[in-house]
Amino acid sequence: MAATAAFALATQLAIANAHASPAPHAAAGPAGAQAGTSYTAAEVLAGVKKNSTAANQVNTKPHINTMTRAQNVNVYQVATGVYAYSSGMAIDDDGSDPDPDPDHQGDTTFHDSNGKALAAHHVPFFVLGDDCWDRKTPCPHFFYKEHGMSGRQFALMFYNGKVIGSIFGDTQTANDQTTSDNDSRELGEASVKAAQLLGIPSSGTTGGVDNGVTVVMFSGPSWVVNGANADLNNNAQALVQKALDTLGAAMAGTNPPPGGTLFEAESGTLSAGGTFDDNHSGFTGTGFANTANAAGAYVDIPVTVSAAGTKTLTIRYSDGTSGARPATISVNGTSHGTLDFPVTADWDTWSTVSISVPLNAGANTIRIAGTTSGGAANIDSVTVS
């Protein structure tokens, strides 16, 4: 098949797939992780900042930075059902001696799956207002009950180049409680454990940081984290990459194949034992190459360019195992090195790796050969740009 025809067919099938599956802009639930690229913390944080615009602002009256008391904190819906704010961090050490918080309540609003108060030294949690301070509906502030959030709701927390998973664990005292100097408009309090994981001084009396913490909250029941106090930290961290990928894809809108001229792996040939499969979703064209699980197993993909020159090959692949599937990239029989092909969230999640290689005018053969006993990752396509 001519390259142009193959590309047109791939485009049609990609559109057909989009109609058959949930809309790419659907709520960023785990199902949204159909989209395929693996995102870094820096990429997602940049997207969050970019989407923190006036048009996406949820609150109409400002929240209070719980450290500086400045009324300059806003909450933005950065993707459907995903809410972000940046503030300082004050340290909540509820339920934990011997480092008492001046406002120590001895208990958290929400509990672990066994009904025990959350342990601030063990569970990374963040704190939101207990009520709508203005007692209005809809609330002029971000009030979690109006946004599909409940206890143990998952959030990503970013600070100083780090990202962690955390859960909604406690609330700022409600407006109807007059005995406290707390204020339900405050944003930025989080547990000792959250501070420790982010490298923020974690003392309940002297710890915290004035600014620079970004909390990105994922609403909906599928983002509620379950577990006992002893497990909740691990369970939250286990969701971090999925949350980065889901949000990264939601903010990118879709998961388009990379720009350039695309050549489907299924137009190529496989070494012994390989098959062209379609039993995982998210591929372009009619399927993907599944090489045999053996060192040296390869797929050869024909690639045509009009003029000779150094080009970037972007290989779209999936590796749903727990280990990378390194593969050597050869062009017309000459090796140009080995790429790592890091793991993706599952076999339905696609990522890309790139390499710069010289191509001849006209036909070329790209060989992707696994170097380990697993063979190559599943290969969807090669794009030349």
Taking the complex as a whole, the smallest distance from the CB of residue 63 to ligand GCU amounts, in Å, to 47
> Does 378 participate in binding ligand GCU (rule CB under 6 A)?
yes
Q: CB neighbours (10 Å) of residue 177?
A: 12
Q: Identify which range of 16-24, 125-133, 352-360, 371-379 contacts ligand GCU by CB under 6 A.
A: 371-379
Taking the complex as a whole, the smallest distance from the CB of residue 321 to Ca ion amounts, in Å, to 9
Taking the complex as a whole, the smallest distance from the CB of residue 374 to ligand GCU amounts, in Å, to 6
What is the dihedral sign for C-alpha 19, 25, 26, 32? Answer: positive
Taking the complex as a whole, the smallest distance from the CB of residue 346 to ligand GCU amounts, in Å, to 10
Could you tell me if 289 and 279 are in contact, meaning their C-beta atoms sit under 8 angstroms apart?
no
Length of the chain: 385
Closest Cα partner for 34 from 244, 346, 260, 271? 346
Closest Cα partner for 327 from 289, 291, 265, 372? 372
Closest Cα partner for 191 from 99, 85, 278? 99
Interface pattern 301-340 for ligand GCU (x via CB under 6 A): --------------------x-------------------
Toward ligand GCU, which CB reaches closer, 210 or 277? 277
Toward ligand GCU, which CB reaches closer, 183 or 277? 277
| Distance of alpha carbon 206 from alpha carbon 200, whole angstroms | 11
Taking the complex as a whole, the smallest distance from the CB of residue 291 to ligand GCU amounts, in Å, to 7
Q: Which amino acid is at 172?
A: Q
Toward Ca ion, which CB reaches closer, 197 or 297? 297
- Our CA angle for 335, 340, 343, nearest 5°, is 145
Interface pattern 250-279 for ligand GCU (x via CB under 6 A): ---------------------------x--
Toward ligand GCU, which CB reaches closer, 24 or 320? 320
347 binds, among Ca ion, ligand GCU, none (CB under 5 to 8 A by kind): ligand GCU
Closest Cα partner for 384 from 260, 266, 221, 299? 260
The residue at minimum Cβ distance from ligand GCU is: 290
| Distance of alpha carbon 342 from alpha carbon 166, whole angstroms | 25
| Distance of alpha carbon 384 from alpha carbon 103, whole angstroms | 60
Q: Which residue has the tokens 């971090």?
A: 240
Query: Taking the CA atoms of the chain, what radius of gyration do you get in angstroms?
Result: 25
Taking the complex as a whole, the smallest distance from the CB of residue 280 to ligand GCU amounts, in Å, to 6
Toward Ca ion, which CB reaches closer, 184 or 290? 290
Taking the complex as a whole, the smallest distance from the CB of residue 246 to ligand GCU amounts, in Å, to 22
Residues in binding contact with ligand GCU, number by CB under 6 A: 9
Element (H, E) at 329: strand 327-331
Toward Ca ion, which CB reaches closer, 93 or 319? 319
Toward Ca ion, which CB reaches closer, 34 or 290? 290
> Does 347 participate in binding ligand GCU (rule CB under 6 A)?
yes
| Distance of alpha carbon 106 from alpha carbon 104, whole angstroms | 6
Taking the complex as a whole, the smallest distance from the CB of residue 327 to Ca ion amounts, in Å, to 11
Taking the complex as a whole, the smallest distance from the CB of residue 131 to ligand GCU amounts, in Å, to 49
Q: Which amino acid is at 117?
A: A
Toward ligand GCU, which CB reaches closer, 63 or 316? 316
Could you tell me if 164 and 237 are in contact, meaning their C-beta atoms sit under 8 angstroms apart?
yes
Per CB under 5 A, residues contacting Ca ion are 290
312 DSSP β-pair partners: 356
Q: Which residue has the tokens 């004050």?
A: 90
> Does 142 participate in binding ligand GCU (rule CB under 6 A)?
no
Q: Are strands 362-370 and 298-305 parallel, antiparallel or unpaired?
A: antiparallel
Q: Identify which range of 77-85, 188-196, 210-218, 373-381 contacts ligand GCU by CB under 6 A.
A: 373-381
* CA-CA-CA-CA dihedral for 346, 347, 351, 356, to nearest 10: 130
> Does 281 participate in binding ligand GCU (rule CB under 6 A)?
no
> Does 196 participate in binding ligand GCU (rule CB under 6 A)?
no
**Which positions lie near ligand GCU, rule CB under 6 A?**
277, 280, 290, 293, 321, 347, 374-375, 378
